[in-house]
Copies of this chain bind each other. A is one copy, B any other.
Amino acid sequence: MSKGIVHYRTGDSLDSYFLIKTAMKGTASNGKPFLTLILSDNTGEIEAKLWSCSPEDEATFKSKEIVHIIGELSEFRGKNQLKINSIRPTTAMDNVKIADFIRSAPISPEEMLEKVTQYIFDMRNANIQRITRHLLKKHQDAFIESPAATKNHHEFVSGLAYHVVSMLDLAKSISVLYPSLDTDLLYAGIILHDLGKVKELSGPIDTQYTIEGKLLGHITIMVNEIGEASKELGIDGEEVLILQHLVLSHHGKGEWGSPKPPLIREAEILHMIDNVDAKMNMMDRALERVQPGEFSDRVHALENRSLYKPSFHEKPLDI
């Protein structure tokens, strides 16, 4: 496979494989059908139009198919677009597989799982430890491959686990500076806070909200699961209530989805760490192809800001 799609510039020719993420049919102004394809590889995605397509084309070029394309990078209304010169479906002969076209966390699932497990192992409060371990084990497979969101941040395979691991490390170094924090609570809160997403979202590819996700949301789902888990484990100390509160309040306030604001020190810090990690992820992403002395595109999830890369900072390595 050649270099990834994000590394091309307007005017470049390309000859590559892509995964079709979505394919939408439309009717052109000359009355003929065409397809709008969102093509992706593991570095990003790009839109392409397949003009005057036949019914066979429609049947062939569908979501989740890998195709081979020869074309050229052009621009339309200020956005990159791929001009298709030739396109064909792939066969076993091409020796390509979906996994190679999907963005995922920079650490392996096994390594991340081991790290989380170690944090649980180090807990001293048995109630907190048992509930956390129980719920992680219950959802382990989904946890390890789930994205953390459908868009905005950590929206890739294993994004959820990667977000959790980053937050745990952040929590650890902050706890050293503020010794009044109860690390058992803080680590447990981090591990559980978004775990409900394994039921809120449909999985790592073409991620959608489930019905339960839309009607209850990952916060309520996980608060319920903590209650259930403690029933099953026969635990009824105040730790149960506190863990539920940590999950419940981690969005910070009502209009952001938390019916109660953080009322425990560790809940407040959990909310802030969540924010720090999400924003660092979004900002790194927004700036990854920006040249020194230039501004990024506007980022909706960062209050529509357009970020700046100072002129004395280094150029992106890959260009």
- Tell me, yes or no, whether A115 is within 8 Å of chain B by CB: no
A264-B307, A265-B287, A305-B261 are known contacts. Are A27 and B211 too (CB-CB below 8 A)?
Answer: no
Q: How many copies does the complex hold?
A: 6
- Tell me, yes or no, whether A91 is within 8 Å of chain B by CB: no
Contacts A214-B308, A216-B245, A254-B255 aside, 7 further interface pairs with beta carbons under 8 A come to A25-B75, A178-B284, A220-B248, A237-B312, A253-B255, A257-B259, A264-B307
Q: Is the CB of A241 within 8 A of B211?
A: yes
State which size class the interface on A falls in: 35 or more
Interface 0/1 of A25-56, CB less than 8 Å to B: 11111110010000000000000010100000
The residues of B that contact A176 with a CB separation of less than 8 Å are 173
The residues of B that contact A30 with a CB separation of less than 8 Å are 28-30, 51
A213 CA / B211 CA spacing, docked (Å): 28
> Which residue of B has the minimal Cβ distance to A182?
B313
> Which residue of B has the minimal Cβ distance to A288?
B180
- Tell me, yes or no, whether A170 is within 8 Å of chain B by CB: yes
CB < 8 Å: which of B177, B258, B265 contacts A166?
Answer: B177
CB < 8 Å: which of B256, B269, B287 contacts A254?
Answer: B256
